Structure 1
Amino acid sequence: MKILLYMGGGFDTYGPSRHLYHALIEDLLAKGHTIHLIESHSTGKDPDAPAEFIANSRFSYQVVNSTPVEKRAFAKRYLTGVKYCFDCIPALKAQRNQGFDVMMVQSCPWAPFAVSFAKRYVGVPTIWNIQDMFPGASIANGVMDKKWMQRIFYAFHKIAYKKADHISVISDDMKQKVIEQGVASEKITVIPDWYDDKSVREIPWEENLFVKKYNMKKDVFYVQYAGTMGFNFDYRMVLKVAEILKDEKNIVFQMIGFGSQKDLFENAAKERGLDKIVFLPLEPQEMVPHVYSACSVCLIPLPKGVIGNSVPSKAGLLMACHRVIVTSADEGSEYNKMFEREQIGIACSTDDPEGIAGGILKLRDNPDLRKVYADNAQRYGKAVYTRTVNTGLYEKLYHYVSTMH
């Protein structure tokens, strides 16, 4: 197949889905497909395309310059994204009648422009890949609190839903959100984000570089969060749970990473005297299996409204590392139901710190139960969240959509 990928960002700048597109392109090329990539060039911090892609005769790419904007500068960032779409028109026009079987547009807030221009100027069956719902995710994390603005963007985004021939989403909860926007169920395919089963595995304690770096103790129960401490991270839940468990001598909350909420979180922990919350810097990507394998359980505290609009990408990684997740998310969500149904962890509502604290104690005091959950999680993760399975599902989706017209 000949596949055109149209990214809202670029490989030169870190983004939460960059590693996914890297793996997807790598696997599609390995299976003999031809890929052309249209992407932005903004920061120039990394190469516009990995060297191994450039060396492949079936890969080609074109960059379109864009201006880097802080994520919190919403209006400027959106307008910059729209300008990028207009600047991409010549690149899109150049791909018309080039024999592409299918095209996929990367998730972005300015999707009405990106999807419309893709259909108009390239004219091949088009998939819109949604990683984060817009404006739903911005509403859930408090960035877009004005009702009139929400109504405008919800209405405007329906253009993208209508223009796309097919839509791929990363969870069943997200599929339901798209259906609520008036999209037929058969137009939506769920393909979860993945971990790389070629490289991610549980690292034994004796070999663990993160354990050695911080001289971690085997008799301590480490409740860990590693990742971005932004608006999709409920640091207040961690404070409440740590307060409930402050007299438990062998429990330490290990908070690893950075983000817009980290300073508020760290200051609040100090003010409350919660010295069992330990803050550590984010580790490089290659250390991820070591970090996740070092924890006793992982805590993923999500604010209300996040699930369905977004999905925590670390869940599959933790399952691969044979770890149990304790999470707070919207009550009744498919995400929460998964933990109970598959017996892979403990999920509570977003307003239940007592439930989270109780779950942590239950897992600490029942190592046999923790092992059962971890075994189940590892099996479930292998079946649902692996790169091998899910890049294959994208390949099947491309074949299916290419036959639609």
Structure 2
Amino acid sequence: MNITFLVGHLAKERHSLLYELALDLGEHNNNVTVITGFPSRRITEKVRHYYLEHPIEQVSDNVKVIRVGSKSGEGNGLFIRMIKYVFLTVSIYKQAKRHEADAIYIYSTPPFLGLLGSKLKKIAPTLYNAQDLFPDTLVKMKKLSENNFLVKFLRSLEKKVYNSNAKIVTISEDMKNTIIEQGCNEEKVEVIQNWVDIQKINKVDRENNQLFAKFNLDKNSFYISYAGDIGLFQNWEVILDAAEELDKEFNDIKFVIIGNGSYKDNMEKSIKRRRLNNVFMFPLQPIELVSSAYSLGDLELVSLEKEMTKIALPSKVGQILAAGSPLLGMFDSDSYISSEIKNKNLGAIVDNFRKESLVELIKYYYNNQHELDSISKDVRLYAEQQLERKTQTSKYNDLLRSISS
């Protein structure tokens, strides 16, 4: 089967899930042609120049990557970025229509890419992978009203995306429900959870975790760790409120925040203003240290603002599970991920985003650390049974074959 694979940007250094999906589809004896832009964000200059110099790349026997569009990056500011996304979408379309295909995979970023389903379905049936729900993320970020003219316009485009693609795949039951609420036919929507390479990510015990030496951390302390994007929707002030209260009572309960993002400067200022001695921030670590990063904490913190689970699910959840680390989640209590964490013994959920609940849970596990060992085993087993890479990517292969026949 010939598969055309459309995605805004693809670099194995950053977009590992998409890279793995393309490779695994190729291993199913499909000929996969990836059409994408030139990656620019969150990669080194050396890596960026490599991709600029290799617009066409044969990454495996059955997978070829063709890079199109601007080489100058995504731009700064929302308006400039949106304009560049439009031009990138046009460039991807011009290249895609030159290729014969039995099925076409379309990723949800950039946000206009899904509209190509209405054009490309003349070539082959299309599968739209809604990893991000747009314009919901924009509405949340900019606090826009549904009555806003721009939001109404974007909602009309969203409905066109859902109506024009043969299949819609998203990554959680909550996101599926959101898509259906926007008028999409329920029979078109499938859920395939994002996977994790459980052969590559494992538990790293504290004695062998090189990040403790690298960050000069006391191995005898109790750690709440976060690794990933330091963005606008992680309830940081609630977390720092909890850290401030714990700092007054304990000298061996510590928070480690690893990553970069739009809220990082605010975090650093807030930590300094509060004079916190128990919160430590470090830059994003190389991908080869992912197991160490997600094994660092006694509890691994994952947080999303209220109602964000309806439109997003952090990819780091799978990596934390593969590392066998107990989750400390701050999500909507009625969300699917919260139910899984509570019902499958994967960790604990903060009650209603309350600082008091967060403090109480941290104190509980600090005083009952023996319980974390059994949770850790259940966490790793869940990853092996539910999130194994080949199992999950095979589901995409089966769906693409089903719409092509």
Supply the AA of the counterpart residue of 1:340: K
> Is residue 388 from structure 1 mapped to residue 393 from structure 2 by the alignment?
no
Classify the secondary structure of the residue corresponding to 1:219: coil
> Is residue 69 from structure 1 mapped to residue 74 from structure 2 by the alignment?
yes
Please list, as runs of the form range in 1=range in 2, the aligned pairs for 1:114-125 lying within 5 A after superposition.
114-120=116-122, 123-125=123-125
Write the distance in 2 (CA, Å) between the matches of 1:179 and 1:394: 20
Shift of 1:350: 5.0
1:309 equivalent in structure 2: 311
Shift of 1:146: 7.4
> Is residue 83 from structure 1 mapped to residue 70 from structure 2 by the alignment?
no
> Is residue 3 from structure 1 mapped to residue 3 from structure 2 by the alignment?
yes
Write the distance in 2 (CA, Å) between the matches of 1:294 and 1:11: 26
1:166-192 deviations in Å (ceiling 9; x for gaps): 011011111111111111222111111
Shift of 1:60: 2.8
Shift of 1:329: 1.2
Question: What is the root-mean-square deviation in Å for CA atoms of aligned residues?
Answer: 2.3
Please list, as runs of the form range in 1=range in 2, the aligned pairs for 1:148-167 lying within 5 A after superposition.
148=148, 149-167=150-168
Shift of 1:348: 2.4
Cα pair distance change 1:56/1:292, threshold 3 Å: closer
Supply the AA of the counterpart residue of 2:183: G
Please list, as runs of the form range in 1=range in 2, the aligned pairs for 1:6-405 lying within 5 A after superposition.
6-11=6-11, 18-41=15-38, 43=40, 44-47=48-51, 54=58, 56-66=60-70, 67-70=72-75, 73-95=77-99, 98=100, 100-108=101-109, 109-120=111-122, 123-142=123-142, 144=144, 147-148=147-148, 149-246=150-247, 247-403=249-405
Q: Is the 8 A contact 1:140 1:304 kept in 2?
A: no
Unaligned runs of 5+ in 2: 41-47
Q: Is the 8 A contact 2:6 2:34 kept in 1?
A: yes
Cα pair distance change 1:342/1:48, threshold 3 Å: farther
Write the distance in 2 (CA, Å) between the matches of 1:50 and 1:318: 33
1:65-113 deviations in Å (ceiling 9; x for gaps): 1352246x22222222112222333312211xx2x22110011211353
Write the distance in 1 (CA, Å) between the matches of 2:78 and 2:22: 30
Shift of 1:291: 1.5
Write the distance in 1 (CA, Å) between the matches of 2:250 and 2:6: 51
Shift of 1:53: 6.5
Write the distance in 2 (CA, Å) between the matches of 1:147 and 1:235: 29
Write the distance in 1 (CA, Å) between the matches of 2:67 and 2:205: 42
Write the distance in 1 (CA, Å) between the matches of 2:38 and 2:55: 16
Cα pair distance change 1:263/1:145, threshold 3 Å: farther
Supply the AA of the counterpart residue of 1:68: G
Write the distance in 2 (CA, Å) between the matches of 1:198 and 1:284: 18
Cα pair distance change 1:251/1:287, threshold 3 Å: same
Supply the AA of the counterpart residue of 2:350: C
After TM superposition, the structure 1 stretch with the greater mean CA deviation from structure 2, 172-181 or 377-386, is: 377-386
Cα pair distance change 1:350/1:147, threshold 3 Å: farther
Identity %: 25
Q: Is the 8 A contact 2:222 2:298 kept in 1?
A: yes
Classify the secondary structure of the residue corresponding to 1:8: strand
Classify the secondary structure of the residue corresponding to 2:310: coil
Shift of 1:309: 0.9
TM-score by length of 2: 0.91
Cα pair distance change 1:69/1:319, threshold 3 Å: same
Cα pair distance change 1:378/1:85, threshold 3 Å: same
Shift of 1:164: 0.5
Write the distance in 2 (CA, Å) between the matches of 1:396 and 1:382: 21
Unaligned runs of 5+ in 1: none
Classify the secondary structure of the residue corresponding to 1:307: helix
